[in-house]
Amino acid sequence: MSEKSENNRLTVFKTYKLYVGGKFPRSESGRVYEVTDSKGNWLANAPQASRKDARDAVVAARKAFGAWSGATAYNRGQILYRIAEMLEGRRDQFVREVADAEGLSKSKAGAVVDATIDRWVWYAGWTDKIAQVVGGGNPVAGPYFNLSTPEPTGVVAVVAPQDSSFLGLVSVVAPVIATGNTAVVIASEKAPLPALSLGEVLATSDLPGGVVNVLSGRTAEIAPPLAAHQDVNAIDLAGADDVLAKELEIAAADNLKRVLRPQPVDYTETPGIDRMTAFLETKTVWHPTGALGASGSSY
């Protein structure tokens, strides 16, 4: 769709697509829905993802998990920093989209985008430090030493915040992947465009396809099958209302998923490490000390 500008040139409108497995499919169902700005003016037609799209996203996330979780923490940090670099280069585009999505002035939207870029950098710096903070050696009464190390939970479904289309989105996605998990993200239903554009940045960064998958559409339609999916290991309910959150928590109990319940959050504040530790498991290794092996050497 296009319209004529003052110089009679047809404006080329952007076609938004899902981001699944490093590719940009249209919804399997072929459906779209209208996205409007804060005043009700039409902005774009966003793809309305189906349950099949959600299942495809889980398959892509699971396929990417082994290599991503096995990458060095330093490498993950480099990739997150690269994403921040690319967002900086496309800052003007995101300022426009955030201003339209959230009804902000250009200057306020610019501040939101700057904070979002900084948030990526903040989590990039944590990738090779979180293990030292939450892991370590444990005192043991006996001839053993005991080491605890954090490991990623697996595939995490994320219901993105509804009213913070970009800063809130990144604040819940970045900690998931910084710690080695992969993500299936349901974008804000009423303001999905910044999330869909973020998919374009991720695709052209060094982030492997499938590590983050972005779906748009009706949250109440997409979220329940993700919560009940047997290959989803955890779910962040950040953008779910009380009724939907309860439904999703019940569905998630089928295979004992980790569930991060919705809670009031000021995304403009510097985050703690809670969203990183929420989707980490602790592996503890015991080893004898002072024992002699067959050769007489200690091990």
pLDDT for residue 4: 53
In single-letter form, the type of residue at position 138 comes to N
Residue 156 pLDDT more than 90?
Answer: yes
Contact assessment for residue 31 and residue 47, using Cβ atoms and an 8 Å cutoff: yes
CA distances from residue 207 to 65, 71, 116, 201, 245 in whole angstroms, order as listed: 12, 11, 18, 9, 30
CB 206 within 8 A of CB 82: yes
Residue 45 to residues 22, 268, 290: CA-CA distances in angstroms?
A: 21, 29, 68
Q: Give residue limits of the domains in the chain.
A: 17-285
- May I ask the CATH architecture of the domain 17-285? 3-Layer(aba) Sandwich (3.40)
Residue 3 has pLDDT above 70, yes or no: no
Average pLDDT over residues 150-173: 96
Spatial distance between the Cα atoms of 127 and 77, rounded to a whole number of angstroms:
5
Strand blocks (E) in the chain: 2-4, 10-12, 32-36, 42-47, 136-138, 144-152, 155-159, 182-186, 212-215, 234-236, 258-260, 280-288
Q: Between 299 and 288, where is the model more confident?
A: 288
Residue owning tokens 């009679």: 8
Using alpha carbons, list the distances in angstroms from residue 131 to 73, 94, 179, 201, 284.
Answer: 9, 33, 9, 28, 13
Convert the pLDDT of each residue in 238-276 to its tens digit. Answer: 999 999 999 999 999 988 899 999 988 999 999 999 999
Per cent of the chain over pLDDT 90 is 79
Identify any residues that bridge with 35 across adjacent strands, giving them in sequence order: 44
Which residues does residue 280 pair with via DSSP β-bridges, in sequence order? 152
User: pLDDT tens digit string along 164-211?
Assistant: 999 999 999 999 999 999 999 999 999 999 999 999 999 999 999 999
Of 165, 178, 159, whose CA–CA distance to 252 is shortest? 159
- Lowest mean pLDDT: which of 1-10, 159-168, 282-291? 1-10
Q: What is the pLDDT of residue 293?
A: 44
Q: How far apart are CA 61 and CA 57, in angstroms?
A: 6
CA angle, 173 as apex, 28 and 67 as ends, to 5°? 80
DSSP secondary structure string, 131-167? HHHH-EEE--SSSEEEEEEEEE--EEEEE--SS-TTH
Site of tokens 């952007």:
14
Say what the pLDDT of residue 79 is.
Answer: 97
Residue 50 to residue 42: CA distance in whole angstroms: 23
C-alpha to C-alpha distance for 165 and 29, rounded to whole angstroms: 24
Distances, alpha carbon 21 to alpha carbons 58, 91, 182, 183, 269, in Å: 9, 25, 11, 11, 32
* Half-sphere exposure (Cβ direction) of 21: Cα atoms closer than 13 Å: 12
For residue 15, the surrounding DSSP H or E stretch is: none
